[in-house]
Amino acid sequence: MSRDLTIAEVRLTPILVADPPLLNTQGVHQPYTPRLIIEVVTAGGVSGFGETYGDAKYLELAEPFAERLAGRQVNDLNGLFTVADAVAVDAARVENAVDVGGLRGVQTADKLRLSVVSGFEVACLDALGKALELPVHTLLGGKVRDAVEYSAYLFYKYAAHPAGVPSEPEDWGEAVDPAGIVAQARKFTERHGFTSFKLKGGVFPPDEEIAAIRALAEAFPGHPLRLDPNGAWSVPTSLKVAEEVGGILEYLEDPTLGTPGMAEVAGATGVPLATNMCVTTFAEIKEAFTRDAVQVVLSDHHYWGGLRNTQQLAAICRTFGVGVSMHSNTHLGISLAAMTHVAATVPNLHHACDSHYPWQSEDVLTERITFDGGKVTVTDTPGLGIEVDRDRLALLHRRWRDDDGTMRDRDDAAAMRVTQPGWTSPAMPRW
Ligand SMILES: [Mg+2]
């Protein structure tokens, strides 16, 4: 292995990974969800891995992007943004599209580019770290903590996918009421030691979700609780929920859509508001922060443009006295490792991060990452500190290749139509 850091090859591997029937305000997760695994190989023979969204529009951009990387240096991280800017994006197509019913916030050509850049940035950092024999957190300036805390991500869910569509078996069971949510929370604590809980709401009428939060508070007294309806509520409904359970919430996440509505809710209640919907780009920060619309930003290195952009976001939050934590979409161990490395370097990360990882029974790593007491230990192994199982990767890629196209783009509303014909993404606010 030499230290020649020239990028010799880039490999893109779209995969489909098993996903349980988790509910949100748009519908239900499909049996399989797309992800893109990115491998950067240096002339010195070092491979680095990254991961990002795998829907068609991300793949369409990743391919010409990858073609432009050969011959560049793996340590030229700033250059990745220049390369991305040179790749054409059909802006009209992106901006008119509704991505997973709006769960991923505003859609712009720049955000699409950043979502792709992030996967390459992580792959380059992994390769660079391996070549230099340094962990990624060291490349980011060094860790300020030895373990990163994650929260249990509770979901209303069906026992199995509608219509018996095959997927990987799982033993989480059904959760459609307060008792089911509390039982799920207990499983999370038993299996992973989590001490804080986030409930994905916006699924049932607010009173039912208020009851679930109360049941959690009773079952886990004093533990941090969050509720995230993905903007499904009007301002008056948000205020009513805040009045009823605000006192037992660590924060309320995206109760209503848009910065003006969030500002109205924030101004009328003392409950901190968190977001991964109204602040998902640097352009959205100014209005939200000057109107005091959000008190915690949930960063996501995938759409913010990578680990170093996440650090920049955290610095802006610190400047404005806004808290920072981490959002999660369905992801695998490569991204969990990346999240953990950057979270380890952010001094003002004072809330447990979200992660879907416990829901993913499949991974592309030789060894799964484990939570101990709800925390992931920050590894000092070079790069991300993970190893990819190529056989596993090939298997999940074959599933993607053999798919008839129904699951290559995540569509929670389509999955819902299997049980509820005629279901479409609900108009917001639902309540
Ligand atoms: Mg959210």
Using the mean position of ligand 1's atoms as its centre, give its distance from the Cα of residue 81 in Å.
26
Q: Please give the pLDDT value at position 218.
A: 98
The rounded Å distance from CA 83 to ligand 1 centre is 30
Instruction: Assign 3-class secondary structure to 358-401.
Output: HHCCCCCECCCCCCECCEEECCCCCECCCCECHHHHHHHHHHHH
What angle, 0 to 180 degrees and rounded to 10, lies between the N-to-C axes of helices 235-245 and 259-268? 40
Averaged pLDDT for residues 372-387: 98
Cα of 270 from ligand 1 centre, angstroms: 20
Asked about 375 being catalytic, the answer comes back as no
Structure confidence by residue, pLDDT tens digits, 136-155: 999 999 999 999 999 999 99
pTM for the full predicted model:
0.97
For 256-280, the pLDDT digits (tens) are 999 999 999 999 999 999 999 999 9
What is the spatial distance between Cα 157 and Cα 160, in angstroms, rounded to a whole number? 8
Phi first, then psi, for residue 400 (nearest 5°) are -65, -45
- Asked if pLDDT for residue 101 goes beyond 70, the answer is no
Dist. CA 47 → ligand 1 center (Å): 33
CA 203–ligand 1 middle distance (angstroms)? 13
Provide DSSP, 110-121: HHHHHHHHHHHH
Q: Please give the distance, rounded to the nearest whole angstrom, from the Cα atom of residue 63 to the centre of ligand 1.
A: 29
Q: What is the mean pLDDT of residues 122-141?
A: 98
DSSP-based three-state secondary structure for 426: coil
User: DSSP strand E in 54-113: where?
Assistant: none
- Read off the pLDDT of residues 343-366 as tens digits, 9 standing for 90 and up: 999 999 999 999 999 999 999 999
The pLDDT tens digits of the residues spanning 187-242 come to 999 999 999 999 999 999 999 999 999 999 999 999 999 999 999 999 999 999 99
Task: Report how far ligand 1's centroid is from the alpha carbon of 303 (Å).
Answer: 13
200 is catalytic: yes
- Highest mean pLDDT pick, 105-114, 164-173, 274-283: 274-283
Q: How remote is the CA of residue 275 from the centroid of ligand 1, in Å? A: 6
Q: 430 CA distance to ligand 1 centroid (A)?
A: 16
Predicted local distance difference test score (pLDDT) of residue 97: 67
Distances (CA, A) of 83 to 61, 79, 114, 309, 329: 11, 6, 11, 16, 26
* % of the chain residues with pLDDT over 70: 97
Work out the pLDDT band at 42, boundaries 50, 70, 90: very high
Give yes or no for a contact between 188 and 223, defined as CB atoms under 8 angstroms apart.
no
Among the listed residues 29, 200, 301, 356, the single catalytic one is 200
pLDDT (0 to 100) of residue 163: 67
- How far does residue 403's CA lie from ligand 1's centre (Å)? 29
Domains of the chain are 7-136+389-402 (3.30.390.10), 138-377 (3.20.20.120)
Asked whether 374 and 193 are in contact (CB, 8 A), the reply is yes
The pLDDT of residue 206 = 98
6 contacts: CB under 8 Å, gap ≥ 6: 42, 43, 44, 71, 72, 73, 74
CA distance 156 to 70: 45
pLDDT of 313 higher than 70: yes
260 φ, ψ (degrees, to nearest 5): -60, -45
Write down the pLDDT at residue 90: 78
The alpha carbon of 230 and the centre of ligand 1 are apart by a number of angstroms equal to 6
Identity of the residue numbered 384? L
Q: Are 21 and 161 in contact (CB under 8 A)?
A: yes
* Cα–ligand 1 centroid distance for 13 (angstroms): 27
The residue from 57, 198, 301, 327 that is catalytic is 327
CA distance 181 to 97: 33
Distance 327 CA to ligand 1 centre (A): 7
